[in-house]
Structure 1
Amino acid sequence: MAQQICAICGREVDDAARFCPACGGELQAAGQICGKCHQSNPDRALFCMNCGDDLTVQETAAVDAESVDAGAIHHLANTAAVSLPPIMEIPAPAAPSAGAPAAVKRTLAVIGVVVLLLTAGGGVYRYYTQQMTQRFLSASSLLAGQMAGAEQKLADYFERPIDTQFIAALQQDWPGQIQELQIAVDEWKTVKCPKQYLLQQQLLDRRAEAQLAAMGQIPDILAHPLAAETDGVLESLRQNMNEARDLSNNIQLPGLQMPNSDKATAVADSLSAYCSEQREIYKAKLARLEAMKAYFKQMDSILQKNNEAKTGLGAMLDKIRSGGYGWPDYFEMIDGAKSTRVNLRTQVNRLVTPAGTEEYTAELSRLLSLSVDYCDIMKAGANAESKGDYSTANKKYIEAPPLNDQIQSQYAAFNSK
């Protein structure tokens, strides 16, 4: 006998009964059987009243299974009616199931997202690279302009003659110029360089360092033009400037205008000429100093001989008059004194006089000439006195003392110079 299940208490009741004898609930047909717990459920139930499983899904699965079973039976029937060929053909791939298009769509969606991300990433990378390249080229162009400005200032300096004022101005301003360019180089080095310009970056770096080195050597050369070590500094300066010129010709960056180093090379020539000139001047000073030493050595000898040749002609006259000496002795003394002054004057007049000593030499020659004149006056007076011409002798003796006083005064002033 068919049975029905009470939807309230779950008790099996005869099919003819309309109400459950246990709980009094109204009865319905057996309805749906849960495929999971095998419990009967009303026809309108969506979920199993016992285990809660989805009955609609179970129903769909059951329908599919019945379709498969029916297809299988139909296939077996056809197979039985048709004989198999001797060689079995490889069956074609099964048609995709109903869920396959959704999976394909999901795969395509994932691929699309990946492609989109890659495209976006590539765009970001290209933008970043372009920005980095632009910053590097802009910074490099700025640095090149500052290097050109420093070279122009250097060339402007050396358009003037190198003198004391020039050196003082350069030594005051130049450290600031070097520091300004060094700061620019340091800032440029902080800018990231694209890979394709790494070689050009190295060349530009060397170019800047060569210019900084040359700029630092210039004040040192001007401060020590006579030192032997300056020759090495000059040679190093030329090498740095030549390197800067060659690197300027080799640097190839878009939009970059490197400075022309020909003016800087001219600066090296000016410095070399200045050092040569200063050395010639110093050499001349040394030669003049040596000449002055030789000159004054000879002058000292002449003055010493003149001092040693001094004689008291007036006192000698008193001794002659008292009978201590005769006139021949006196005349011999006067002639000796005169001969000494004449000889010394000749030596003075033959001296090689360094520049600036001409007046000094002429003054001594004049004083020696006055001494010779004094000897002549004293001899003339003595000669007149020895012959009894006292009037003439007295005139000469009156003329001689003032001249002697003049000679002694001027000679003392000469020795004090």
Structure 2
Amino acid sequence: MSNDQQELKTIELHELQPILSRTFGDRLIVVRYTTENLLQPGENYGSTIFSVHAVIKRNDEAEEEDLYLIAKMPPPTEFQRQIFDTPFTFKKEIFMYEDIVPYYQKLEEEMGLKENEVFDILPKYYKSRLSLSPNVEFDDNAVILMENLRARGYYNSNRATGCDLEHSRVAIRALARFHALGMATKYKRPEYFEVLKERSKCVEIKTEDFEHFREDMLKRIAEDPELSVYVDRCDTAIRDSFKYGFWTMTPDEPWSTIIHADFWVNNIMFHRDENDHVDDIKFVDFQNYLFFSPMRELVFFLFSSTEVVSSEDHIEELIDLYHETFIAVLNRMGCNTEPFTREKFDAKLLTDARLESMHLFFMLKILTLNVQETELKHDNMKDFMMTYQGNQLFIQRLRTVIFYFIKHNWM
């Protein structure tokens, strides 16, 4: 890796008041603010994330208020910026906050939902910018500001074990609704959906890097005494993933919508009520959303981010819940559901599970990584990602997924 790619840039949040004034008005005063790195390397790859504590006054006479924010800024290395095409993905994420979800909410209101019933899946958005200079399209001062959900008691599930059944049910309902609202937009507002398709393109992918991952993955499977008997079937599924499953592929109709495309535990936040029941969910990190098959995302979430994956009954329950919710939302939005019968759904699920295998296997290796115990740093990220073989927890999770896929003829 070149020295330019390894060089660490210093990312800092400057000029907070102008961007906050777009939410609070020109009389706003930012008295002071502090920032702190929120995540370690290995927790987030595509950006720098700061927690921000700002003290503001609405005007000269107002009392001081505390404002707790998240500032999402460009990553510190050129390698990360190239992998994620940071200017492109920042613009994508801004479009999700400013256009896509508000459009879904407007569509629901047109179908009779009240303001407090629409799909409220995003943290509060405090605007964004791509540069501090009017003559520069994108630079290190690009930032997306949103509320710090943790300040209101939101939390993530454990990344190593995944969501329990209660949290998985909440996530599945929200995911099915998100997918169905994209479908409803496609059928009811096809001209706008064409805009969404254009804005949901995948970043350019260098397949040669994935070939290295494929070889490493098959080697690990072949060396494991419990998995080695399935290495040929895994090899075929992974090769199909390469040939037909990359995110640049156009999805088959009618199974196309807008998907989050990075829907795992770190990007899902939950809230509990006073009785300790999960009463809300938010999605974060929309830099990778795609025009793609919703079945791919369903498989990815179930087998990367739920601890109930070891219970076949619970997996079947969640698949049932997804389909029921998906159909219910389409019905409420006045869409024809005949193309999405359970028989057709199951057939698509079988095909898409196979195509999702490589992405899922690779992500299992990453999300089981213990960032406290590894030498992963920003300046060695590429070398680390190319050589890391996974730990014992990764092998355990991989076994569970492969056993399920084999049993259900998904590979």
TM-score (norm 2): 0.19
TM-score (norm 1): 0.19
- Greater share of helix: 1
